[in-house]
A = this chain, B = another copy of it.
């Protein structure tokens, strides 16, 4: 017999991986996505309509027991429309906060979570004032709608203000200090309907051109204090937002300090390693949470490295020839800068993972030469 049906707003690879985790549990999936090619349509029923289309929204939840989303850009009005019809997890507060970088930063501040200095920017004069207040270099970001490095740029000289304003201005912005950091980390956690929470170990992320390229899990040289600080931050957020489901928080590490960069109220690219590398994957735990089912252990099973395939997939046999490598092809059309798949390399220990990762890079032509050195500033997103 089939179990509950889950409606998902968004039908990309995150939705697809939710379904691949949920189908073995007997769950059925319905997706809403504006594209008829949405990859989640291979593993569930796809309703093709914009995410703010009421007839599409009504159709995707037909017979569904719970609704969730794979993208924090889901219009708040859509979430409210659905909430009148069935349980929607995570709830609207997480969406509101995640959709507005200013609300997000104020939430971090309110909860005592350290963040880099920042200032809201509404016009070109405001940008000049913010540059004086924050100093340079600094990152100018749109308050809404950016992802994968889109909607942001680095300001290094006050003379760049007019061009920066002309490129991003006309919409509410935010200027953030370009703090020096040792490395970028993230923490993924899940909270159930009953408030129980599990945190995955902190992972180390490497970006290039604003796109996540590599995640090492658990983060190398992870100590108990660092993990506790990250867990404190994410648990504070989960409780404050009464969040149900998975949440990820991206962090900058400066010595022993963690500064929050941003949060995502959904399954996260830096958690893909959990499919093979953790006792329970982030996808299965998100589903367990939104269904009110018991959560699974978030323990790592060993060491893992996750690499994203950007633009195009390598030949499958070249990836699979390497021991401990798990391939994920999202079946997306190749396009420069597009995440089309990932691979996770697992091993009992980090040294073996790094050796296998090197083998994977050699076997597939994956360029890891840009990898940020462990100390010194990595590429700022």
With both chains docked as a complex, state the minimum distance between the C-beta of A31 and any C-beta of chain B, in angstroms.
14
With both chains docked as a complex, state the minimum distance between the C-beta of A205 and any C-beta of chain B, in angstroms.
22
Complex Cα spacing A327 to B293, Å: 12
Given A23-B42, A43-B23, A320 and B293 contact (CB-CB distance below 8 Å): yes
Given A313-B26, A316-B25, A316-B26, A331 and B1 contact (CB-CB distance below 8 Å): yes
Residues of B within 8 A of A292 (CB): 317
Given A24-B20, A24-B328, A1 and B313 contact (CB-CB distance below 8 Å): yes
Residue of B nearest to A44 (CB): B42
CB–CB B296/A25 < 8 A: no
Interface size on A, residues (CB 8 A): 38
| Residue A368 at the chain B interface, CB threshold 8 Å | no
CB–CB B333/A320 < 8 A: no
Which residues in window 320-338 of A have CB below 8 A to B?
320-321, 323-324, 326-334
Complex Cα spacing A340 to B1, Å: 8
Residues of B within 8 A of A334 (CB): 1
Sample (16) of A-B pairs whose CB atoms are under 8 Å apart:
A1-B312, A1-B313, A1-B331, A1-B334, A20-B24, A23-B43, A24-B326, A24-B327, A25-B329, A26-B327, A26-B329, A26-B331, A43-B43, A288-B320, A294-B321, A296-B323
CB–CB A320/B294 < 8 A: yes
Please give the residue numbers on chain A whose beta carbons come within 8 Å of chain B beta carbons, in ascending order: 1-3, 20, 23-26, 28, 42-43, 279, 288, 292-294, 296-297, 301, 312-313, 316-317, 320-321, 323-324, 326-334, 340-341
Contact of A320 among B296, B327, B329, B340 (CB under 8 A): B296
Residues of B within 8 A of A296 (CB): 320, 323
Complex Cα spacing A209 to B328, Å: 40
Given A24-B329, A43-B23, A297 and B324 contact (CB-CB distance below 8 Å): yes
Residues of B within 8 A of A323 (CB): 279, 296-297
Complex Cα spacing A20 to B26, Å: 12
Residues of B within 8 A of A332 (CB): 1
Most chain B beta carbons < 10 A, residue from A20, A26, A293, A297? A26
Residues of B within 8 A of A28 (CB): 42
Residues of B within 8 A of A330 (CB): 26
With both chains docked as a complex, state the minimum distance between the C-beta of A280 and any C-beta of chain B, in angstroms.
9
Residues of B within 8 A of A1 (CB): 312-313, 329, 331-334, 340
